[in-house]
Amino acid sequence: MDSNASLRRIPSVDQLLKSVSAASIIERFGRPALTEALRSALAKARNDVRNGHNAPSAETIMAAALASLEAADKSSLRPLFNLTGTVLHTNLGRALLAQAAIEAATAAMREAVALEFDLESGKRGERDDHLRSLICELTGAEEATIVNNNAAAVLLVLNSLAAGREAIVSRGELIEIGGAFRMPDIMARAGTRLVEVGTTNRTHARDYRDAIGPDTGLILKVHTSNYRVEGFTKEVGARELAGIARSKDVPLVNDLGSGTLTDITRYGLAHEPTVREAIAEGADIVTFSGDKLLGGPQAGFIVGRKSLIETINKNPMKRALRVDKIRLAALIATLQLYRDPDRLSERLPTMRLLTRSQDAIDAQAQRLAPIVERALKGAFSVAVITCESQIGSGALPLSTVPSAGLALTPVEGSGSMLAELAAGLRRLPMPVIGRIERGALVLDLRCLEDEAGFAANFAGVSTGPHKVTTP
């Protein structure tokens, strides 16, 4: 049959839209969306016919249109298995929310809430009031406010207290974090002039004293949470620095970054400065994140001296950086868990994952190894190995937590097999993200709680001599 005859056999958009199968698709996606999908499918069908292929049936064209609609409808923000060994992985969303926080956020989404309405007086209220007393209780601060992340908190503090003036920072604390966020850049955007003191590895008290002048707006101490300078080093501790700042009537701002509300050594982890410690050491303002070690949704806390917080809250930028009702509800529920530290490791996912015993994870690895090996059909060997998990998101960069996992090594073939396997795992219905190291794809199981779901999901992997595919 010639191509013109085949082209005439291809149904029109109107014919396809009148078909029985179109009704259910229109119900799901709407008539305009299906019309566009059909036009694309028909254009491809006509092109295929011109290139010598047979004309597809109406059912085939409709199936192609449906597939494209389903693919477009699938969110790229998909749940996945984080087997990287980094518990608070910035690229994978950081902290998992506690069930109490999920329920609180859901309720806030479903109903109207008294976000900025005082139920007692019947007048306009302030959204920060919902958590102010709670965060002050947990940190020992006089006052508190909140914005949408810690970078915003630092920006707002600098702009409120040192715009047009100087901010003194040790050269050893001029950090850069993910996404090319650099402290000097944020200071420039805040309208404050950076004054560097000391050297990369050594800063003394006299360096701060000598730098303070009539244009000094504040002293900024930055917790170097994502790196350590070791060897011939010197830094001025927060307590001593607070004394210097107080003697010159200059506020001390301590940016803790990851910041935690509890001493995590009680859970067998290395010490990380707490917000309460920073306040007790004399900081006038402390900033920290909500979605890192605190284990809540993304947020930036600003706590400290009441008069300074009041100044910060008067800054017009505060409104631009505020949090919404959903995040606020989740934060309150998360903070309330800290009132019961004895059960925190059970109820807060971040602590639950960090405190899983190596023995429990190793037993899980032993159970999963044969299941994974069968799914890979002999193309990869699977070995149970010990791992070192990281907290992540800049917390305790030199500290690791003993863990266990699976090392998937190609039986034959080059290193490209590992890349193909990693890509295949990313295409699973629930993607699996591991890490490639020393000739193997390593799946660190510290963050794996749904063992049965992982096993069923992994069964979708298909391997061949030179390929790894998924359904």
Encode pLDDT of 91-135 as tens digits: 999 999 999 999 999 999 999 999 999 999 999 999 999 999 999
**DSSP assignment letter at 193:** E
Q: Which pLDDT score is estimated for 178?
A: 58
On average, the pLDDT of the chain sits at 91
Q: Which pLDDT score is estimated for 201?
A: 83
Q: Which pLDDT score is estimated for 398?
A: 61
Tokens of 5: 């005859």
Q: Which pLDDT score is estimated for 220?
A: 95
Q: Which pLDDT score is estimated for 466?
A: 44
Q: How far apart are CA 204 and CA 198, in angstroms?
A: 7
Beta strands in 330-448 (DSSP E): 380-392, 395-410, 432-433, 435-437, 440-444
Q: Which pLDDT score is estimated for 226?
A: 57
Could you give the dihedral angle defined by the CA atoms of residues 218, 219, 224 and 230, in that order, rounded to the nearest 10 degrees? 160
Give SS3 for 98. Answer: coil
Calculate the CA 151 to chain-centre distance.
14
Q: How many residues does the chain have?
A: 471
Tokens of 191: 């309208």
Q: Which pLDDT score is estimated for 234?
A: 85
Instruction: Output the CA–CA distances (angstroms, integers) from residue 112 to 104, 109, 117, 198, in the order listed.
Output: 13, 8, 11, 53
Q: How far apart are CA 106 and CA 102, in angstroms?
A: 6
**DSSP assignment letter at 53:** P
Cα Rg, the chain, nearest whole Å? 28
Q: Cβ contacts of residue 87 below 8 Å, gap of 6+?
A: 350, 353, 354, 389, 390, 391, 392, 446, 447
Q: How far apart are CA 81 and CA 72, in angstroms?
A: 22
Q: For residue 58, give the nearest of 34, 32, 38, 33 by alpha carbon.
A: 38
**DSSP assignment letter at 153:** H
Q: Kindly list the strands in the beta sheet with 380-392, ordered across the sheet, starting from the edge strand earlier in the chain.
A: 380-392, 395-410, 440-444, 435-437
Could you give the dihedral angle defined by the CA atoms of residues 314, 320, 323 and 326, in that order, rounded to the nearest 10 degrees? 140
Half-sphere exposure of 208 (CA within 13 A, CB side): 29
**DSSP assignment letter at 202:** B
Give the strand pairing for 300-304 and 193-197. unpaired
Q: Cβ contacts of residue 349 below 8 Å, gap of 6+?
A: 95, 96, 97, 98, 295
First-last CA distance in the chain = 34
Query: Amino acid identity, residue 109?
Result: M
Residue ranges of the chain whose pLDDT lies below 70: 1-2, 177-181, 225-230, 393-398, 413-414, 462-471
